């Protein structure tokens, strides 16, 4: 009885105070979350309304309604289109109107474009008024990925908190192509935060694949790949850190180029992990064919154009002698990584490319990459070195699309909970029902470098792995190029792909 008395008279008031404080704290934070969520939802609805009104306004103008003259322009090859712009047989404004008309039709079907760039018409008119053409891409409309800066436009990466924050200047790559005469005319869709193999966000919706609208175009440059694949653009600017150019190009049947780190200036891009160490994102280029990619790369890298806008960009000019060389090449190839098992006809596609290259006289040499699970361990250690804190802050009060739900929950879960989850999923009675590869992949859930000393060690592991690849591939085999499919899986349903990264 004495114990109950002490519990009731002494401990219960303190326990009551503690519980009351906890409940009040939860209510307080809940109210602020609801207010913040509703505020961002209203911002999203406002943007969606303005976007729809903008599309309708363009569609109501006869010059942006697809017609026979537009089709003649759109049916020209890249070479013929550029030639007619260079010789002034076609005006920049005529070509721009044709591509806006086509892009409108494409985006109504595939939702590729977030916004059209209002200044594009003014830029095209200025080009038409010049006595001489501005450059090799004079008057060519180009599309730009959402996270790539265009002066006066948002780069929201699908997050409401970044809407109505227009950037003050163009990215270095956009400025270079404008100097070459190109006309940026639209921004294209991305998955929320960029970190997804699909293309969905609550602001601009789901982008679909141009080859099959029931499938995703890939991510994160899915808007670019689907627009170019459907003929709404001939040249597009994207970015890539873990396949964001290569995967969409693979899914949509277009050509994509991810340059070597620092080869193309990355100044003027909004990143999903701006302070990450060990993972290097780079700009990329999209086109309908490799010939156009080569042309776009060549002209941008000539004459130190990038250094005008980025003084630390590598001043390496285009090597025409190497590009035009007819010497036979020794090319390494591989067909699979255990972390990404092959599906469908991916291996067949790679082997067909191998045969095509061999028929041209080149030598193809098979090789194996280092342990892909160790590679991905490093990727997740670097990407989640902060235990997902930056991502959680980005997601604060934001609606989470189905495609990003798993990513969100993993980032939101405390580190101790992730460790317990990994321990449960790796327990022997459970794993006998699972593939060994999947149980190894579960380890990535608890990834993250907790201490600076561990970060140093992982950077050392990264350096050692790069040296191993150089030694085994470049030196021992004497290979100067390699061939593989970056994406080892087929396209998947737009709303059913969140598990790909983590299961």
| CA 65 vs CA 119, 202, 367: distances in Å | 19, 28, 52
Question: How many angstroms separate the CA atoms of 380 and 450, rounded?
Answer: 12
Q: Is 244 a catalytic residue?
A: yes
Give every CB contact of residue 9 below 8 A, 6+ residues apart in sequence: none
Strand (E) or helix (H) holding 356? helix 346-359
Task: Yes or no: say if 498 and 348 are a contact pair by the CB < 8 Å rule.
Answer: no
Token pair for 189: 């869709």
Q: Is 354 a catalytic residue?
A: no
Q: Is 145 a catalytic residue?
A: yes
Question: How many angstroms separate the CA atoms of 14 and 19, rounded?
Answer: 9
Q: Is 359 left (phi over 0), alpha (psi -120 to 50) or beta?
A: alpha
Catalytic, out of 112, 155, 171, 220? 220
Catalytic, out of 102, 105, 145, 305? 145
Catalytic, out of 143, 244, 272, 487? 244
Among 236, 147, 257, 154, smallest CA distance to 194 is for: 147
Burial class (CB in 10 A: 0-12, 13-18, 19+), 286: buried
Q: What is the CA radius of gyration of the chain?
A: 26
Question: How many angstroms separate the CA atoms of 41 and 52, rounded?
Answer: 16
Question: How many angstroms separate the CA atoms of 406 and 480, rounded?
Answer: 39
Among 398, 428, 394, 426, smallest CA distance to 411 is for: 394
Enumerate the H helices of 360-404 as residue ranges. 372-383, 389-394
Catalytic residues, by residue number, are: 145, 220, 244
């Amino acid at each position: 009885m004495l114990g109950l008395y002490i519990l009731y008279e002494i401990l219960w008031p303190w326990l009551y105070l503690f519980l009351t404080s906890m409940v009040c704290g939860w209510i307080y934070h809940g109210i602020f979350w609801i207010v913040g969520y509703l505020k961002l939802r209203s911002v999203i609805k406002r943007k969606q309304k303005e976007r729809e009104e903008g599309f309708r306004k363009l569609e109501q103008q006869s010059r942006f309604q697809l017609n026979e003259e537009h089709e003649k322009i759109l049916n020209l090859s890249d070479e013929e289109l550029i030639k007619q712009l260079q010789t002034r047989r076609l005006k920049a404004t005529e070509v721009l109107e044709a591509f806006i008309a086509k892009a409108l039709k494409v985006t109504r079907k595939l939702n590729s474009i977030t916004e059209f760039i209002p200044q594009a018409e003014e830029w095209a008119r200025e080009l038409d008024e010049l006595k001489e053409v501005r450059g090799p891409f004079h008057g060519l409309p180009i599309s730009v990925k959402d996270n790539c800066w265009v002066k006066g436009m948002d780069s929201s990466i699908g997050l409401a908190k970044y809407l109505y924050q227009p950037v003050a200047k163009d990215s270095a790559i956009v400025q270079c192509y404008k100097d070459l005469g190109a006309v940026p005319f639209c921004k294209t869709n991305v998955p929320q935060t960029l970190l997804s193999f699909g293309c969905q966000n609550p602001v601009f919706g789901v982008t679909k694949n141009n080859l099959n609208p029931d499938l995703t175009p890939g991510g994160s440059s899915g808007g670019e790949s689907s627009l170019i694949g459907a003929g709404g653009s001939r040249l597009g600017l994207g970015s890539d850190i873990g396949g964001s150019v290569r995967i969409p190009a693979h899914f949509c049947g277009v050509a994509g180029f991810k340059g070597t780190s620092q080869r193309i200036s990355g100044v003027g891009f909004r990143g999903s992990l701006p302070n990450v160490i060990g993972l290097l994102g780079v700009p990329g280029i999209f086109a309908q064919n490799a010939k156009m990619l080569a042309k776009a790369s060549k002209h941008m890298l000539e004459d130190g154009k990038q250094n005008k806008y980025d003084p630390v960009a590598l001043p390496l000019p285009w090597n025409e002698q190497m590009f035009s060389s007819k010497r036979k090449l020794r090319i390494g190839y591989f067909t699979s990584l255990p972390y990404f098992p092959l599906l469908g006809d991916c291996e067949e596609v790679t082997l067909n490319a191998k045969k095509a290259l061999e028929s041209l006289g080149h030598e193809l040499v098979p090789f194996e990459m280092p342990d892909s699970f160790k590679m991905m361990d490093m990727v997740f250690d670097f990407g989640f070195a902060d235990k997902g804190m930056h991502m959680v802050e980005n997601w604060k009060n934001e609606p989470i699309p189905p495609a990003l739900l798993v990513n969100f929950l993993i980032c939101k879960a405390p580190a101790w909970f992730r460790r317990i989850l990994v321990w449960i999923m790796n327990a022997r009675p459970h794993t006998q029902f699972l593939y060994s590869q999947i149980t190894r992949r579960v380890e990535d859930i608890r990834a993250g470098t907790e201490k600076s000393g561990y970060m140093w060690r992982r950077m050392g592991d990264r350096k050692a792995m790069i040296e191993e690849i150089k030694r085994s591939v470049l030196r021992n085999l004497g290979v100067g190029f390699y061939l593989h499919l970056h994406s080892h899986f087929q396209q998947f349903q737009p709303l059913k792909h969140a598990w790909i990264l983590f299961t």
